[in-house]
Amino acid sequence: MAEPLLIRSRLWDYPVRFTADVAGALDAAAEEPGVLVIDATVRERFGVGRWRDDRVITIPAHEETKTLAGSGDLLAQLVAGGMRRSHRLVVVGGGIVQDVASFAASVLYRGVSWVFFPTTLLAQCDSCIGGKTSINHAGAKNILGNFHPPREVVIDTGFLETLPDAAIGSGIGEMLHYFVYADSPFLERTAREHDALLGDRSRLAPFIDESLRIKQRVIEQDEFEQGERAKFNYGHTFGHALEAATAYAVPHGYAVTVGMDLANFVSREIGLMAPDTFDALHAVLRVNFPAYDWRTLDLASYATLLTRDKKNTATQVRCILAEGPGRLRVHPLRLREDGLDRLVQRYFTSELPYA
């Protein structure tokens, strides 16, 4: 089992611990005043242990939940259920449940403490640390939010055993983006062991640990994304727009995988990345490409969605491009004047997203 981590934050430090007895940890949390917010599917499969029904709120893990309306519904239930500022919110679920619940925790009584039990690979390898809360609004992804870290994170990889392969592949996409950022040996290892990781979830623990430790090193130096942490948007600027353009038919981590390949393609075309470096990275990323017909993608709509990202303007995209693994840079490009729209079109009308 992986060693625990202690995340240093300017707001408050918080531990990340790994356990094989999440039921016991949840039961212990039930002894303290507070409310359990749990993903509906997770509750159906694992139950709520010693938590009384009147202290449990069940929410669906849908993008429609991750909105102002969804967080408003949760806040109304928390207030009606007697949640107090001194109480603790215990959150069990993946990234969507985390986003909705952490946002609610950040604004209720100007902030209540919360504990997170991540149940998806995406949440375990990435979003459980860093302190960001994010919800969607006005058709754009993650444009509302703030920073409100948990007081503790408890990870049990046993949750991953019940997930479909697509959920694991989505998490692998997120880990790959950290491994490219850090030029980690886990980058090539992930490509080699991809099918084995899908088939045997117990093998994922060291990959999760590596991903979290890479992220930890950066967020402890740049918690509020004023500098280096911005490079973690590698694959995400292009990926978030892909999610929205496909009505979320392409899950987040898969969209990030394609987003990284697109970022690398743009890097190659403007002379930033050598062709052989692109080919080597493409060979790694392609093992995690989703089965999707990109010919159905509305490229005009996709370009519009790119400009609606919170980091961009109406005409310029704040791209994270790469010279190679471990060598990422912020590189703004204008859609028309710099030809970004044409490069995007060339990418999606080529064989690259399939090959």
Q: What is the pLDDT of residues 108-158, one digit of tens each?
A: 999 999 999 999 999 999 999 999 999 999 887 788 999 999 999 999 999
Report whether CATH 3.40.190.80 matches the domain 5-162.
Answer: no
Cα–chain-centroid distance for residue 35? Answer: 24
Average of pLDDT values for 285-303?
93
Average of pLDDT values for 54-69?
95
Q: Is 351 annotated in the active site?
A: no
Q: What is the pTM of this model?
A: 0.94
Q: Is 269 annotated in the active site?
A: no
Q: Considering the chain, what percentage of its residues have pLDDT values greater than 70?
A: 99
Average pLDDT value over all residues in the chain: 95
**Which one from 174, 210, 223, 243 is the annotated catalytic residue?**
174
**Which one from 215, 231, 268, 311 is the annotated catalytic residue?**
215
Choose the weakest-confidence range: 184-193, 216-225, 307-316: 307-316
pLDDT at residue 183 tops 90 = yes
Strand partners, 140: 137
Q: Is 331 annotated in the active site?
A: no
Q: Is 142 annotated in the active site?
A: no
Residue in 299, 126, 323, 133 with CA at minimum distance from that of residue 218: 126
* pLDDT on residue 47: 95
**Which one from 55, 66, 87, 132 is the annotated catalytic residue?**
132
304-354 pLDDT tens trace? 898 887 777 767 899 999 999 999 999 999 988 999 999 999 999 998 887
* pLDDT on residue 355: 67
Average of pLDDT values for 7-31?
94
All residues at 6 or more sequence positions from 134 whose CB lies less than 8 Å from its CB, including other chains: 66, 99, 103, 141, 142, 144, 145
Residues of the chain within CATH 3.40.50.1970 domain(s) are 5-162
Average of pLDDT values for 234-260?
95
Fold classification of 165-348 (topology level):
Dehydroquinate synthase-like, alpha domain (1.20.1090)
Dist CA 245 CA 222 (whole Å): 31
Q: Is 236 annotated in the active site?
A: yes
Residues of the chain within CATH 1.20.1090.10 domain(s) are 165-348
**Which one from 229, 231, 268, 311 is the annotated catalytic residue?**
229
* pLDDT on residue 125: 98
Choose the weakest-confidence range: 21-35, 53-67, 108-122, 308-322: 308-322
Q: Exposed, middle or buried, 138 (CB in 10 Å: 0-12/13-18/19+)?
A: exposed
Contact 255/237 with Cβ under 8 angstroms?
A: no
Average of pLDDT values for 178-190?
98
Q: Is 252 annotated in the active site?
A: yes
* Percent helix, percent strand, percent coil in the chain, to nearest 5: 50, 20, 30
- Work out whether the CA dihedral 252, 316, 231, 343 comes out positive or negative: positive
**Which one from 136, 233, 264, 312 is the annotated catalytic residue?**
233
pLDDT at residue 264 tops 80 = yes
CA dihedral 289, 290, 296, 297 (to 10 degrees): -70
**Which one from 236, 243, 264, 312 is the annotated catalytic residue?**
236
Q: Is 215 annotated in the active site?
A: yes
**Which one from 31, 110, 295, 351 is the annotated catalytic residue?**
110
Contact 135/99 with Cβ under 8 angstroms?
A: yes
Q: Is 310 annotated in the active site?
A: no
